[in-house]
């Protein structure tokens, strides 16, 4: 019997997906792409309720189903309550994407001391990812209707090789932890739940759009594709990993960086 998965225009039809940090940037793009593939979406936001509602409205305009849940994932109790509410929305979750991250590069946080930035990143990017993944992963394994599911976490393509500077140090430590956890969780939840990570490279989010000429040139130079990546580039990779077409891929960290050019 052939194991080839037939092509489907909506490969995630009938699936329920949750994307944390979906009110903007990469999270928004992933939520919209999963919706285009047929998934019903829980759109998570924290301080930007209107932006989260806008994403849900876009999903509904595509003919999809979406709900907005707001939560500060940096608080363990709140994160746990969010996980329960998201699970109960449609009596289960098939795809969980941990995309929420503390923004310490733009706005008022850009002026914070190093230690304060590191603490914020640790709470939201690392601890919340671990906490939510374990909660949801356990539920995915134990549910009786159809055990299984997909968890995707967000790393960073330069975490393992390192990058000089305060930001490089912080993000290497934070995203390196997320990537190491991802590989281990995949083993813990096998064979029913697939766990993978995406490691974006230079992606033109809010920081990238306002970055200096030096960073504009560096981002293009360090990609074999010769350009910045987009949030949509990451979203398409996420949709593939969430789909049945990626059924034999787990415990992996997939770079989405246009091919990193070493200097």
Q: Report pLDDT for 5.
A: 59
Segments forming the whole domain that contains residue 163: 16-253
**What are the angstrom distances between the C-alpha of 257 and each of 204, 221, 226, 237, 260?**
11, 12, 10, 11, 6
pLDDT band at 3 (very low <50, low <70, confident <90, very high): low
Q: Picking from 101-105, 143-147, 168-172, which range would have the lowest pLDDT averaged per residue?
A: 143-147
- Give the per-residue pLDDT at 6: 61
> In this structure, what are the phi and psi dihedrals at residue 193, rounded to the nearest 5 degrees?
-110, 130
**Number of domains within the chain:** 1
Contacts of 122 (CB under 8 A, 6+ apart): 174
**pLDDT classification of 105: cutoffs 50, 70, 90:** confident
What CATH number does residue 225 fall under? 3.40.50.720
* pLDDT at residue 7, rounded to an integer: 59
**pLDDT for 239 beyond 70:** yes
pTM for the model stands at: 0.93
Q: Is residue 4 part of a domain?
A: no
- Asked whether residue 122 is assigned to any structural domain, the reply reads yes
pLDDT at 2 over 60: no
Q: Is residue 166 part of a domain?
A: yes
Could you tell me if residue 190 is inside a domain? yes
Share of the chain above pLDDT 90, in %: 86
Question: Minimum mean pLDDT among 33-37, 170-174, 191-195, 217-221: which range?
Answer: 217-221
| For residues 109-118, average pLDDT | 95
Q: Kindly state the average pLDDT of the residues 47-68.
A: 96
Q: From edge to edge, which strands make up the β-sheet containing 16-19?
A: 66-70, 40-45, 16-19, 95-98, 149-154, 193-200, 253-256
How far apart are alpha carbons 180 and 197 in whole angstroms?
10
């Amino acid at each position: 019997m052939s194991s080839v998965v037939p092509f489907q225009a909506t490969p995630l039809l009938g699936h329920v997906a949750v994307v944390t940090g979906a009110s903007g940037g990469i999270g928004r793009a992933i939520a919209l792409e999963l919706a285009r593939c047929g998934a019903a979406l829980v759109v998570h936001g924290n301080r930007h309720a209107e932006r989260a509602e806008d994403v849900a409205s876009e999903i509904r305009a595509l003919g999809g189903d979406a709900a907005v849940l707001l939560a500060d994932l940096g608080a363990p109790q709140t994160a746990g309550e969010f996980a329960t509410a998201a699970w109960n929305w449609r009596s289960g979750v098939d795809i969980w994407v941990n995309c929420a991250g503390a923004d310490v590069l733009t706005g008022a946080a850009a002026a914070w001391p190093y230690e304060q930035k590191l603490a914020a990143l640790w709470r939201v990017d690392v601890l919340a990812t671990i906490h939510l993944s374990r909660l949801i992963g356990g539920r995915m394994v134990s549910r009786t209707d159809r055990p299984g599911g997909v968890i995707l976490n967000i790393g960073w393509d330069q975490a393992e090789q390192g990058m000089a500077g305060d930001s490089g140090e912080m993000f290497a430590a934070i995203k390196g932890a997320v990537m190491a956890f991802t590989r281990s969780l995949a083993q813990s939840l096998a064979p029913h739940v697939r766990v993978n990570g995406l490691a974006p490279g230079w992606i033109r989010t809010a920081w990238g759009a306002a970055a200096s000429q030096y960073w504009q040139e560096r981002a293009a130079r360090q990609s074999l594709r010769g350009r910045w990546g987009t949030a949509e580039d990451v979203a398409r990779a996420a949709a593939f990993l969430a789909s049945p077409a990626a059924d034999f891929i787990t415990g992996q960290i997939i770079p989405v960086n246009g091919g990193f050019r070493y200097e």
